[in-house]
Chains A and B, each alone.
Chain A
Amino acid sequence: MTVRPTADFDTAIDAAVSIGRITKKFGDVVAVDNISLDIVDGEFFALLGPSGCGKTTTLRMIAGLEFPTEGSLKIFGEEVGMLPPNKRPVNTVFQNYALFPHMSVIQNVGFGLKMNGVAKSEVADRAAEALEMVRLGGLANRRPSQLSGGQQQRVALARALVNRPKVLLLDEPLGALDLKLRQEMQEELKGLQRELGITFVFVTHDQEEALTMSDRIGIMHEGKLLQVGSPEQIYEKPSNRFVADFIGNTNLLEGTVQDAETVCLANGARISVASDHPAGTAVAVSLRPERAVIGKHESSGNGQTSVNGVIRSVTYLGNAVVYQVELDWMTLEAREENRTSVTRREPGQRVSISWNPQDVAVVAE
């Protein structure tokens, strides 16, 4: 996040949502801990993190359903931190959909427009149009209880989007759907977002969902925002140990920084890898299983970009084979695509694990 001079109004407006040093406490529980974040207009932004890390609380503060204990919250440059939800140009797709059970589908969708004082005939037209958009035109007069989970999900989406919010907030909207439907809805959501150009803030604890759908991801942990970046940045260049471990699978080789080019591993081996941590910092070298290259055992072992070990187990996944390789001080996971050209290895075989220096990342706590 860049700090802008206060007089510079124009540039501040390009952020759809601007969160400045926001903290939210519930009694003694710090649910959100001093978060700063700019969400760009038109982007698909995912908030990702384990259960209880504060994703929902952050989203609810943007919606106005929760008020920050400290900090500022702007939507398109306008301070909204203390405005009630009905005064904010945002709408929410709730995790449980929260459809009104006593209203028909079309009444649900038209509710926001009606409350906004839109003329009756226009409410009807726009609600019908929104239902068409989510391909539910034929179910306008049903009650929510007469719909399947996926259909309810679409109604919730139409009910929010029909208001043409500047920002759409989605709290694990696909959490209750089965895998197939979920993948379908992922594409549909992404398509809608591109088509409408509305900023989406999407909360999920499913990393695959976040990686495939988002322009940028914010990783949260224990109320803190640990890293913000594109899916590639998050995966390739995790800024700390938690992110490296949380996103995808990785091997963390413990060690300490020796100098800008070298990390000394727990077993004494010095490997060459660039890092900007000061010498003496306890770090881990993150090596993704698919970047670990299995080779012939080398009696010397160059020690700088490879280590020696013994294969403990082989797991056949169909499209890939996963090896657990035992080193003297830890076990590494290595993954090979299942091509006919690669030779399958057997448990007990002595091998070397090597990598390209640019394929590993140094992460601290």
Chain B
Amino acid sequence: MTQVLSHPEEVTPEFEKDAARAQSRRGFLMALPTFVYLGLFFVLPFLIVIVYSFATRNRFGGTDLSGWNFEAYRKLGDSVVRDILFRSIWLALITTIICLVLAYPFAYFIATRRPAVRNLMLVFVMIPFWSNFLVRNYAWRVLLGNDGPVSQLSEVLGLGETRVLFTPVAVVLGLVYGFLPFMILPLYAAIERIDLRLMEASRDLYASGWQSFRRVLLPLSMPGVIAGSILVFVPSLGAYVTPEILGGAKTTLLGSYIVTQFLTARNWPVGASLSFVLMAVMLAATLVYFRKGGRTL
């Protein structure tokens, strides 16, 4: 197929061209349901969001689709929104870094086990997915709550009362917990493909253990690092459930703010413009991934 397509047009015999065309038509037909689905439930709503982001909020909390302007985007420069944006990016970044640091050694460990052990451990990594995300977040609320095991333990240890729940720490904890598998799996996939004899070769060439990691393992596992980071950073940035449940009123993040704009403040244009900016950032990040890492993953 690729062979056929890579031929210059004029040397491709007519029937081969026909065959290629027929095949691509068949492929299109098979993918059609997905195209329709994505079009209806992703592209169309996305366009609607864009349209609304340029609209005007009227006095009654409704939205006028007549007067197009950039007012909503201008409002994103407000210090309130800016603070929320920076806080969200900051927490997402911390979450990503913590996930990376936790996941890398673990992924390396799995990748260097025997295949049977490997599969078992991968199943363990995926076990949290078997229960609902919401339920798991509420479980954390119990764990971190005032009379929960964490505060009880800290009192027993004489550390005094600890207040983790409703702080940014609880949010990061919940996000790390929720998204860690998204870091482990791509890292594992990347490390698993690396010929680990290269590490021996680097040790033989006078590299210390750290240098071998830094010069050989890390660069070769970069596709996994990038993929995992994007898979954790992007949903952390837009997270709604976890900050709502574990975060306090002071740690409003982007997701909650957008919801507030739509439901409480009834300012759809601002909610829409913020959504659009967020999606543009995620899209850009995803494109970077496909450019840098996706190619080899």
Contact = CB atoms under 8 A, between A and B. Distances in A.
**Size category, B interface:** 10 to 19
A94 B207 CA distance: 16
B295 interface: no
A86 B200 CA distance: 10
A309 B276 CA distance: 96
A102 B216 CA distance: 8
Interface in A58-115: 63-65, 84-86, 90-92, 94, 96, 98-102, 111-112, 115
A100 B204 contact: no
A85 B209 CA distance: 10
Interface string B210-249: 0100011001100000000000000000000000000000
A65 B203 contact: yes
A163 interface: yes
Interface in B27-67: none
Given A100-B216, A101-B220, A112 B198 contact: no
Given A65-B200, A98-B198, A163 B206 contact: yes
A98 B204 CA distance: 11
B141 to A, nearest CB: 45
B281 interface: no
Nearest to A60: B200
Contacts of A111: 202, 205, 207, 215
Contact of B203 (A85, A99, A116, A159): A85
Contacts of B198: 98, 100-101
A86 B208 contact: yes
B200 A85 contact: yes
Interface string B166-202: 0000000000000000000000000000010110111
B223 to A, nearest CB: 11
Q: Is the interface of B mostly helix, strand, loop or mixed?
A: helix
Contacts of A102: 219-220
A94 B220 contact: no
B202 A65 contact: no
Contacts of B201: 92, 94, 98-100
B117 to A, nearest CB: 16
Contacts of A116: 206
Interface core residue of B203, B206, B215, B219 (most chain A CB under 10 Å): B206
A159 B206 CA distance: 12
B293 to A, nearest CB: 13
Contact of A115 (B195, B197, B200, B205): B205
A159 B205 contact: yes
A84 B202 CA distance: 12
Nearest to A116: B206
A160 B200 CA distance: 13
Given A98-B195, A102-B219, A112 B206 contact: yes
Contacts of B206: 86, 112, 115-116, 163
Contacts of A159: 205
B216 A91 contact: no
Nearest to B196: A98
A100 B202 contact: yes
A90 B205 CA distance: 9
Contact of B205 (A84, A96, A101, A112): A112
Contacts of A65: 200, 203-204
Contacts of A91: 204-205
A122 B1 CA distance: 49
B216 A92 contact: no
A206 to B, nearest CB: 22
Given A65-B200, A85-B200, A115 B219 contact: no
A146 to B, nearest CB: 16
Most buried by A among B201, B202, B208, B220: B201
A99 B200 CA distance: 11
Interface string A4-31: 0000000000000000000000000000
Nearest to B205: A112
A84 B200 contact: no
A49 to B, nearest CB: 21
A93 to B, nearest CB: 10
B197 A84 contact: no
Interface of B: 195, 197-198, 200-209, 211, 215-216, 219-220
The 4 closest A-B pairs by CB, nearest first: A112-B205, A98-B201, A115-B206, A85-B203
Given A65-B203, A98-B197, 14 more contacts: A84-B209, A85-B200, A86-B206, A90-B204, A91-B204, A92-B204, A98-B195, A98-B198, A98-B200, A99-B201, A115-B202, A115-B207, A115-B215, A160-B205
17 contacts: A64-B203, A64-B204, A65-B203, A84-B209, A85-B203, A91-B205, A94-B197, A94-B201, A98-B195, A98-B198, A98-B200, A99-B201, A100-B201, A100-B216, A102-B219, A115-B207, A116-B206
